[in-house]
Amino acid sequence: MNELSKDAPSQVTVDEAGAGQRIDNFLLRILKGVPKSHVYRILRSGEVRVNKGRVGPDVRVQVGDVVRVPPIRTAPPASERVAVVRPFKPAILFEDDALIAVDKPAGLAVHGGSGIALGLIEQLRAARPQARFLELVHRLDRETSGVLLVAKKRSALTSLHAQLRDGDTDKRYLLLVRGPWRAQERVVDAPLFKFATREGERRVRVDAGGRASTTIFRLRERWRAHVPPLALLEAELETGRTHQIRVHLAHLGHALAGDDKYGDFAWNRELAKAGLRRMFLHATRMTFRHPGSGEAMTIESPLPAELAAFVAKLGAEK
């Protein structure tokens, strides 16, 4: 790949590793250390060109495309910066020659950027220097734990992306909410609009001009006598929007335990004193077709120990 310049526009030719990626994700991959907000700013300004034409963030690049990247101050090369990285030994739920299913821990970003030197994918690549291709199939929020897919082949990435785009996957999450939850099943159809704050932080709100978004919530357990009342829910995503579960819950008036963006901050402090010091959102199951064989696969991740212990504590209070 061409070397990027701080002082003049750079011409980057897309190779096999970048083929099929959205231009925003391609830029985030090659512009290590550059905040996402800046990447989207140069896209909106028209400074980024593909084959000499202006593009939006959803355009996908192909092998041989020439991407013009404007002068930009990137983070120094890894050899010039000191990064303290905890030993990375991911729990592997499944692996073959096409993909890896990782049990992502809470607190670990899936990729670097926005002040994070190394995310899960960078650490995975560093731990497997012989691997020619490792790319995230989808994303989980930093504080969300659970099933995360990584493709080991371009063909696998393309197949799984198509399944996600066409709604052919089934993703389930477990979460804890505040308030009396009465319905056994509740479908939320509320369009979501993504925006950035003045500080460049990514946020989402329910907005009629947003993208169609559907979440199905199902009751798993509830503690009516607890103060405040609590409910353990399973969420099924029919769409995969940024912060979808968190924003839909806030829209319903049910705070997600430990959510530091859309939840109840005072309640979060009480939860921390009671032993819950993270967001209670866990990607527990994902069903999809294997990108090679086409066979239906279900990957499951049990509740992490800290979440299971908190639920057990609630059960003991009944």
Which CATH number covers residue 174? Answer: 3.30.2350.10
Please check whether residues 203 and 299 belong to one and the same domain.
yes
The verdict on residue 4 lying in a domain is no
Please check whether residues 312 and 176 belong to one and the same domain.
yes
Q: What is the mean pLDDT of residues 266-284?
A: 96
Per-residue confidence band for 48, with pLDDT thresholds at 50, 70 and 90: very high
Known catalytic membership, residue 170 = no
Does residue 43 carry a pLDDT above 70? yes
The verdict on residue 174 lying in a domain is yes
The structural domain count of the chain equals 3
Please check whether residues 61 and 199 belong to one and the same domain.
no
Query: Beta strands of the chain (E only): which ranges?
Result: 10-13, 49-50, 53-54, 66-69, 91-95, 99-104, 135-136, 145-151, 170-178, 185-189, 192-196, 202-206, 214-223, 230-237, 281-289, 296-300
Please check whether residues 195 and 281 belong to one and the same domain.
yes
Please check whether residues 97 and 126 belong to one and the same domain.
yes
Mean pLDDT of the residues in the chain: 88
Which range of residues forms the domain containing residue 46?
10-69
Q: What percent of the chain has pLDDT over 70?
A: 90
Please check whether residues 149 and 194 belong to one and the same domain.
no
The verdict on residue 74 lying in a domain is no
Please check whether residues 245 and 293 belong to one and the same domain.
yes
Residue range 206-252, pLDDT digits in tens: 999 999 999 999 999 999 988 999 999 999 999 989 999 999 999 99
How is 73-131 classified by DSSP, letter by letter?
A: -PPPPGGGS--------PEEEEE-SSEEEEEEPTT--SS-BTTBS--HHHHHHHH-TT-
The verdict on residue 220 lying in a domain is yes
> In the listed set 159, 184, 219, which residue is the last one of a domain according to the structure?
159
Catalytic residue among 24, 65, 103, 141: 141
Q: What percent of the chain has pLDDT over 90?
A: 64
> In the listed set 132, 159, 186, which residue is the last one of a domain according to the structure?
159
The verdict on residue 147 lying in a domain is yes
Does residue 79 carry a pLDDT above 50? no
The verdict on residue 104 lying in a domain is yes
Please check whether residues 154 and 21 belong to one and the same domain.
no
Query: What is the reported pLDDT for 80?
Result: 42
The verdict on residue 240 lying in a domain is yes
Does residue 6 carry a pLDDT above 90? no
Residue range 109-166, pLDDT digits in tens: 998 765 556 789 999 998 999 998 999 999 999 999 999 999 999 999 999 999 999 9
Residue range 173-192, pLDDT digits in tens: 999 999 899 999 999 999 99
Residue 49: CATH number of its domain: 3.10.290.10
- Residue 252 CA to residue 314 CA, distance in Å, equals 23
The verdict on residue 1 lying in a domain is no
Pseudo-torsion of CA 156, 162, 167, 169, nearest 10°?
Answer: 0
Please check whether residues 88 and 190 belong to one and the same domain.
no
